[in-house]
Every structure is written in structure tokens, then in C-alpha cells.
């Protein structure tokens, strides 16, 4: 199995973030056209924007938390030569949780479901971390 294929899920995760930025730009433009923005506060205060914009903005912020650990783990596993079918599957599962999380976050924003999906992603990262530790130590 090609070691470099492990970067495909990373590229999909990056594409998700770029898509969220595009979605945010559209949402902000709509909110401005509808005069839903407090123009005096918009530069410094999130509460100047309507909920539709805040959900996307918060989702983007979240993409720079746990996913950063995924990026680092991917490079560690690649550097260790520890990329296997297992790593590929678990990496794609992680990205699937991030996509699901983004859909929930920018849609219904139902926190119990969002938290569950987030927790699964964290558990996947834990598994990847343990796999890297075992591979490195043994």
C-alpha cells in the first residue's frame, strides 16, 4: 500500500475547511443584503452577525482544533512508515466524522448529536495516537 495515500483524507479535510469559508462568505453576503448585520459592531464583535453566520463561523473555528492533531498524526505515521490499511480506514473515518460534525454544526446545530460525532472523532484520534506510539516503541 502506498504510504502517500494517507494524505488523501487530509486533503479532503482541508477541502472541507475551504468549502466552509466559501459558505461563510455567501452567508455573510446574504446577511448584509438583508440588513441583518449591526454594521457598527461587525468588525470586532461576533454578535453583530445573525445566527446563520455565527454557526458557520463557529464551525470553521472548530476545524482548527481537533483536526490539527489529525494533521500532525498523519505526518507522524507517514514519517514512521506506519501507514497501513488500518490507518487509511481510520483516517477516512475521522474525516467522515468531521464532515458530519460540520453538517450538523451549520445545519440543525443539535448539540447532543454534534457532541456525539465530535467524541467519535476524538476517540479515532486516540486510536491513531496509540497506534503511532505502539509502532514507534515496538
Residues of the domain holding 130: 3-137
CA distance 104 to 100: 6
DSSP code string of 58-96 = HHHHHTTSHHHHHHHHHHHHHHHT---HHHHHHHHHHHH
pTM of the predicted model, to two decimals?
0.93
Report pLDDT for 1.
Answer: 67
Report pLDDT for 138.
Answer: 75
Q: Could you tell me the three cell numbers for 96?
A: 467522515
Report pLDDT for 124.
Answer: 97
**CATH number of the domain residue 36 falls in:** 1.20.120.550
Report pLDDT for 57.
Answer: 95
CA distance 118 to 100: 9
Are the beta carbons of 27 and 2 closer than 8 angstroms? no
Domain count, the chain: 1
Q: If you count DSSP H runs as helices and E runs as strands, how many of each does the chain have, helices first?
A: 5, 0
Which regions of the chain are under pLDDT 70? 1
Report pLDDT for 39.
Answer: 87
Amino acid at each position: 500500500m502506498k504510504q502517500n495515500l494517507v494524505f488523501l483524507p487530509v486533503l479532503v479535510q482541508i477541502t472541507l475547511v475551504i468549502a466552509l469559508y466559501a459558505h461563510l462568505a455567501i452567508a455573510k453576503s446574504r446577511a448584509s443584503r438583508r440588513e441583518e448585520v449591526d454594521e457598527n459592531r461587525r468588525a470586532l464583535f461576533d454578535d453583530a452577525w445573525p445566527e446563520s453566520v455565527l454557526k458557520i463561523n463557529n464551525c470553521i473555528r472548530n476545524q482548527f482544533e481537533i483536526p490539527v492533531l489529525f494533521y500532525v498524526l498523519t505526518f507522524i505515521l507517514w514519517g514512521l512508515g506506519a501507514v497501513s490499511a488500518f490507518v487509511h480506514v481510520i483516517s477516512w473515518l475521522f474525516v467522515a466524522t468531521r464532515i458530519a460534525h460540520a453538517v450538523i454544526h451549520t445545519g440543525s446545530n443539535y448539540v447532543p448529536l454534534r457532541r456525539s460525532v465530535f467524541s467519535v472523532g476524538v476517540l479515532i484520534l486516540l486510536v491513531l495516537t496509540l497506534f503511532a506510539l505502539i509502532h514507534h516503541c515496538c
